[in-house]
Each structure stands twice: as C-alpha cells, then as structure tokens.
Amino acid sequence: MDRIRIVGGNELHGVIPISGAKNAALPLMIASLLTDDTLTLENVPHLADVEQLIRILGNHGADISVNGRRERQGESYARTVHFTSRNIVSTTAPYELVSKMRASFWVIGPLLAREGRARVSLPGGCAIGTRPVDLFIEGLTALGASIEIDGGYVNATAPAGGLIGGRYTFPKVSVGATHVLMMAATLANGTTVLGNAAREPEVVDLAKCLNAMGAKISGQGTSTITIEGVRSLSGARHRVLPDRIETGTYAMAVAMAGGDVILEDTEASLLDTALEAIRRAGAEISDTNNGIRIVRNGAGIRPVDIVTDPFPGFPTDLQAQFMGLMTRSSGVSHITETIFENRFMHVQELARLGAKISLTGQTAKVEGVSRLKGAPVMATDLRASVSLVIAGLAAEGETMVSRVYHLDRGFERLEEKLTRCGAHVERVSD
C-alpha cells in the first residue's frame, strides 16, 4: 500500500494549478442520469472518487468516455468526460458500490425522477460521524415519493404520473440533500420550493449545469431555491468550478511552510472566510488575474480561532488543515466543529508529531509549539490525511503518512504539485 514520505523544512515557491472541484464533479456526473442526451463535463479531476462514480453510473447504463487527449492546463491535466445515459438499465445501486463513497447515494434523485423508482443502498463514506439520510427521505417524500427501508436499502417509488412539486424546508443544512432534491424536482410536475437549502458554490454550479440542460431553477446560492419542473432535460457542456478545498489546503500549506506561491485557476471568492483566517494567521493573500497569490516570509504564525459552519462560513473540509497550521502558532487557538461529530481523528495523529491539542466536546484547544518532529502517522479520512501532510511540511525530519488511499480520493497529484514548489514529498510504494 502506498505511503507518502515528507521531509520537512523547505519553503514553497512556485505555481500550483488547482483542479476542478471533486464536490462539484460528483453531483454533476450524477445529474447526467436525468437525460438521455450527452452531458459533457470539462475540468473533471482525476481522483479515486470520480473513478468510483464512473463505475456506479456505468452500472445504471451510462456510456462514459474520457477525452483520450487530455487537455493540458498548466501542469495539471483537466479531463473532459462525456456521459450518455440513453437508457437506464438498472435502478438499483448496490451495497458493494455505494458503500465505498457516500455521494453515490445521490443517484436516488435522478433515478426516481426519470424512472419513477430507485433502490439504493444506505451509504458508507468517510468515518466522520453517523451521517444519516433522513433529510433525503423527508424531502423526497414531500415530492410525493413513497419510501421504505428494507435490508439496508432505501426503496423509493414515485406516484404514477411522476414526482410532484412541493415545499420542503430542511431542518438542518445539507449539501447532499439539497443536490438530490434539486435534481429530483427538475422533472417533477409543478414547482418545488426548498427552504434552508445549502448555499455552497457546488450547489450553485449544479444548478447552473441543470439550467443549461433545460431546467428552471432560481435562487441557487441563497437559502431558498425554486425549481419549476420541466418534462425533460437535454444534454449540455459545463465546466466544473475550481476546488475551493484544494485551494484552501495549499494556501494553508504555504502559510505553514513559508514561501510565495500562486494558486492558479481558482477564485478567492469561493473561500473568503477561510482566506481571511489564513490572513489573520499571518500570510499575505492577494488576487492574481487567474487565481490567488499567497506569501509568508519570515513572520510567525499567529493563533486564530475558527468555528466551522455551512457556506459562507469556515468549511468543515478545511478544519483539519487549519488545525495543522495552528499547531505551530505562537499562542492558543480554539477550533470548533459544528457540522460533523467525530471529525477530530487527526488530533491524535498530529500529537504524534509533537502538537499539543486537547478536546472538549466539539472544540479543540491548540497550544502552538515552536517545533514539530517527523514521525510515522496514519491517515484516517480524506481531509484529516492532508492535515498530516501540512504538518509534515513544517516538521523536522521525516514524516511517513500511511493509508494514503484517503488522500487519493480527493487530492489530484498532491505530491507532484508540492514537489514542484520545492517541498520534499514523495510517494513510496511497498
């Protein structure tokens, strides 16, 4: 199994190309099931989660082709992928496929809307809390679906004439349930109004693509989304938006290691709150014409408190990385996680590098230390694993991160992107 070896101490200098967002690519790919026409997505990142979803969509009858000639974009390869689901050959998403990635549960929306039924295994995914599916079930029920859970599967059936537009207000903000209800409502009879909807940029990107396919969605990016159902959707061509989590991760890596790096093909407006926290920690951040420049020269890292929140708040997917940065701050910071329980598995691994962190409920108190020392550590989930890489960049000596398949789910060519900026990071295959 591959491991990542980091020798800390080098500053980062250069350009890092930012990939298309995993969390946008996944729902966009799933949206292709809503039409018998071809959906073409540009800037699709090459990640284990994307490959897994390609297998899942293939199981439902999607014909998928990846552009043989990869489009060169800086040093990253942004792929163009074509999805055509002429016929849905199966409305069942089996446990063996869904258990590997939670987002694959989201096929329930398009399958139900287009075929009138879906049988989808309850999901797996990162071990960061219980992550139930009650909001999906309540929301789809509000559109007229009958739902029962049987043998680990969610069986959903639409009324004879198809789903019916309705009103649903989420009791809690959920990105995935917003994606699913928005997709399902595009083909419902009548108008759907979703209240307390997720405002994440990936929701806006999905709405933009669905509208290009002929859907009538408005209000995306606010907490009330209105979807007027249409009879059918057509194909479209859409470019996946930049990955704000990858952007924030590399910004924190530069803030940690020091240096001067341009993050290319990304937008600061996708992550204002996180960039503000990094700025307060002592890095200088400015816009370039195609991205963001981040500099930390000489100055130490200042302690900053953060609380994770739905967009536009500080993203939970950057919490672990920010904690990595705070381990070297000059004082005490508090990091509070409000989205997921049990999303602190990186704490004990960071401690192996010499970090001083104590947990009380959902808040971590991080007492900055003047030096971290490399050690063998274990990746526990996707975002936690990259916080160990960030810490490793500033640790003395060698840090060896095992279980890097977590990283491969969400970070495209991480070691290459960091190495090109002068970091000492390599993949070791046993």
Q: Least distance (Å) from ligand UD1 to the CB of residue 135?
A: 3
| β-pair partners for 294 | 261, 285
- Is residue 39 classed exposed, middle or buried when 0-12, 13-18 and 19+ CB atoms within 10 A define those classes? buried
Q: Least distance (Å) from ligand UD1 to the CB of residue 404?
A: 18
What is the DSSP secondary-structure string of 345-393? THHHHHHHTT-EEEEETTEEEEE--S-EE--EEE--SHHHHHHHHHHHH
Determine, following the binding rule CB under 6 A, whether residue 205 of this chain makes contact with ligand UD1: no
Determine, following the binding rule CB under 6 A, whether residue 152 of this chain makes contact with ligand UD1: no
Nearer to ligand UD1, 20 or 258 (CB): 20
To which H or E segment does residue 14 belong?
strand 12-17
Residue in 142, 143, 163, 177 binding ligand UD1, rule: CB under 6 A: 177
| β-pair partners for 378 | 402
Determine, following the binding rule CB under 6 A, whether residue 51 of this chain makes contact with ligand UD1: no
- Residues with catalytic roles: 126
Q: Least distance (Å) from ligand UD1 to the CB of residue 60?
A: 18
Residue in 5, 131, 302, 427 binding ligand UD1, rule: CB under 6 A: 131
| C-alpha–C-alpha distance, residues 12 and 19, integer Å | 19
Q: Least distance (Å) from ligand UD1 to the CB of residue 27?
A: 7
| C-alpha–C-alpha distance, residues 418 and 17, integer Å | 10
Determine, following the binding rule CB under 6 A, whether residue 52 of this chain makes contact with ligand UD1: no
- Give first-to-last CA distance, the chain, whole Å: 6
Dihedral angle sign, alpha carbons of residues 409, 410, 413, 414: negative
| β-pair partners for 63 | 84
Residues 325-364 that bind ligand UD1 (CB under 6 A): 339-340
Give backbone dihedrals phi and psi of 122, rounded to 5 degrees, phi first: -60, 145
- Number of shown-chain residues binding ligand UD1 (CB under 6 A): 20
User: What token pair was written down for 369?
Assistant: 């230390």
- x/- site string to ligand UD1, residues 155 to 174, per CB under 6 A? -----------------x-x
Determine, following the binding rule CB under 6 A, whether residue 380 of this chain makes contact with ligand UD1: no
To which H or E segment does residue 401 belong?
strand 398-402
Determine, following the binding rule CB under 6 A, whether residue 192 of this chain makes contact with ligand UD1: no
Nearer to ligand UD1, 67 or 155 (CB): 155
To which H or E segment does residue 29 belong?
helix 22-31
Determine, following the binding rule CB under 6 A, whether residue 132 of this chain makes contact with ligand UD1: yes
Nearer to ligand UD1, 51 or 287 (CB): 51
Determine, following the binding rule CB under 6 A, whether residue 149 of this chain makes contact with ligand UD1: no
Nearer to ligand UD1, 92 or 174 (CB): 174
Residues 91-130 that bind ligand UD1 (CB under 6 A): 102-103, 129
What is the DSSP secondary-structure string of 160-194? TT--B--EEE-SS--HHHHHHHHHHHHTSBSEEEE
Q: Least distance (Å) from ligand UD1 to the CB of residue 172?
A: 5
Determine, following the binding rule CB under 6 A, whether residue 20 of this chain makes contact with ligand UD1: no
Nearer to ligand UD1, 17 or 139 (CB): 139
Binding site for ligand UD1 (CB under 6 A): 23, 26, 102-103, 129, 131-136, 172, 174-177, 316-317, 339-340
